[in-house]
Amino acid sequence: MSDKNIPYKTYLDETELPKAWYNLRADMKQKPAPLLNPGTLEPMKAEELSGVFCEELVRQELDDTTPYFEIPQEIRDFYKMYRPSPLVRAYCLEEKLQTPAKIYYKFEGNNTSGSHKLNSAIAQAYYAKKQGLKGVTTETGAGQWGTALSMACAYLGLDCKVYMVKVSYEQKPFRREVMRTYGASVTPSPSMETAVGRKILAEHPGTTGSLGCAISEAVEVATSTEGYRYVLGSVLNQVLLHQSVIGLESKIALDKYGVKPDIIIGCAGGGSNLGGLISPFMGEKLRGEADYRFIAVEPASCPSFTRGKFAYDFCDTGMVCPLAKMYTLGSGFIPAPNHAGGLRYHGMSSTLSQLYHDGLMEATSVKQTDVFQAAEYFARVEGILPAPESAHAIKVAIDEALACKESGEEKTILFGLTGTGYFDMVAYEKFHDGKMTDYSPTDEEINANLVKLPKVN
């Protein structure tokens, strides 16, 4: 069906790797709304943020006018250990689907962290090291981000304290061991190590923890320990900046062949992968140089874009972090227990929220069993066992390719394959055994959280 002039996999040469990250906000006419101080409701200033984040990252977080940030040589050297990631032409999938569509995916799973998270982890660890810090703290749920940060810190000789949601710590011992291999200390959260942890344990003995609680513990330790700062793997502007390397590499590779995607698809939890993948393409769209369809794919069980509200909300469940204007389900929203994998954040990147609000991007939600069906199909055809998160994008890419088969259109589809599912086999097992179920919150459940949104004009 295909002429195969374009290789199955395109790896850029090291000399072709991006030398700067692209700051999408610089080209946005309608800038994302600023973070607000939860006490004063005034925009957060650099000095307020620098107690939590290291200085260069605060600068990146707040700068919405500089289009490019040079990637320091040390970070580029680290990138060379696992980048360029391949841009894959999915010939086998196209043939199996008998579609005239041309399908490409950017595969970010070929590193030990198993996902794209490493792109920002090394950047954040690098700036912490450069500032002379001793270490960083963070939280992790499923474990991809914690693993990535552990790897980056091991490389730079930086201390790394990870607060891992207790239920994950116990159910995903292998993720924990990978982090220990990289020398990180991994503490099940809530713990007795922090005031907030002790308070929660006193109030809720036997709790299995939540991401919100782990964030609170990590922030407490970072702000109360000399030489430490807190780092976060998604949602923030700085993270989208670092992740732009995904989209930049994709674009360089596609440009080589004169290929212009019609549709660009990514899964969306906090937005780190989607924001990174679409960045340079969205930049062209914002500057009026080209047009693309962008599709954010989220789980039906945690549908912030498709069923949430565009409003100021807390970034954490504990309501200690700044307020961000974003599509949110409310900071008290917790996905149903049957929800597998990541993409369980109640909110969404401010940048992506603004783009969606301005009609520059589409969003859709998909059911969990459909996602795993697509994941298994893809694994058998293309060989790669995808992470459940990534399989959200696969599901919609397949749907779009089948629509092309129906219409006879030869559209070009690009999607982000963010990672591998080697540590998600419990979810796959449930799927194989027919024990996986679907769940969408009712309107009442969603409204119950939305009515509690903070009142900010």
Q: Report the interface residues with a copy of itself, using CB under 8 A.
A: 7-9, 11, 13-14, 80-82, 92, 110-112, 114, 151, 154-155, 173-174, 177-178, 180-183, 376, 379-385, 420, 422-423, 425-426, 428-429, 432
* Shortest distance, position 329 Cβ to a copy of itself, whole Å: 31
* Shortest distance, position 265 Cβ to a copy of itself, whole Å: 21
Closest CB to a copy of itself among 61 and 424?
424
What residue type is assigned to position 387 of the chain? Answer: A
Q: What angle is formed at CA 80 by the lines to CA 23 and CA 352, rounded to 5 degrees?
A: 25
CB 302 within 8 A of CB 335: yes
Helices (H), 321-387: 350-357, 368-382
DSSP 3-state percent helix, strand, coil across the chain (nearest 5): 45, 15, 40
Reading the block at residue 397, the tokens are 């890419």
Q: Are strands 135-140 and 159-165 parallel, antiparallel or unpaired?
A: parallel
Task: Please name which of 114, 87, 99 lies closest in space to residue 247, comparing C-alpha atoms.
Answer: 87
C-alpha count within 13 angstroms, C-beta hemisphere, residue 379: 17
* Shortest distance, position 145 Cβ to a copy of itself, whole Å: 16
Where does residue 249 rank: exposed (0-12), middle (13-18), buried (19+ CB within 10 A)?
buried
Closest CB to a copy of itself among 147 and 328?
147
Helices (H), 184-236: 195-203, 211-224
Closest CB to a copy of itself among 17 and 320?
17
Closest CB to a copy of itself among 312 and 428?
428
* Shortest distance, position 174 Cβ to a copy of itself, whole Å: 4
* Shortest distance, position 8 Cβ to a copy of itself, whole Å: 4
Closest CB to a copy of itself among 230 and 423?
423
* Shortest distance, position 2 Cβ to a copy of itself, whole Å: 11
Closest CB to a copy of itself among 14 and 255?
14
* Shortest distance, position 125 Cβ to a copy of itself, whole Å: 13
Reading the block at residue 215, the tokens are 């964030």
CA distance 183 to 389: 26
What residue type is assigned to position 358 of the chain? Answer: D
Tracing tokens 């954490």 back to the chain, one arrives at: 316
Closest CB to a copy of itself among 68 and 82?
82
Closest CB to a copy of itself among 213 and 387?
387
- 104 - beta bridge partners? 89, 414
CA distance 368 to 395: 10
* Shortest distance, position 177 Cβ to a copy of itself, whole Å: 4
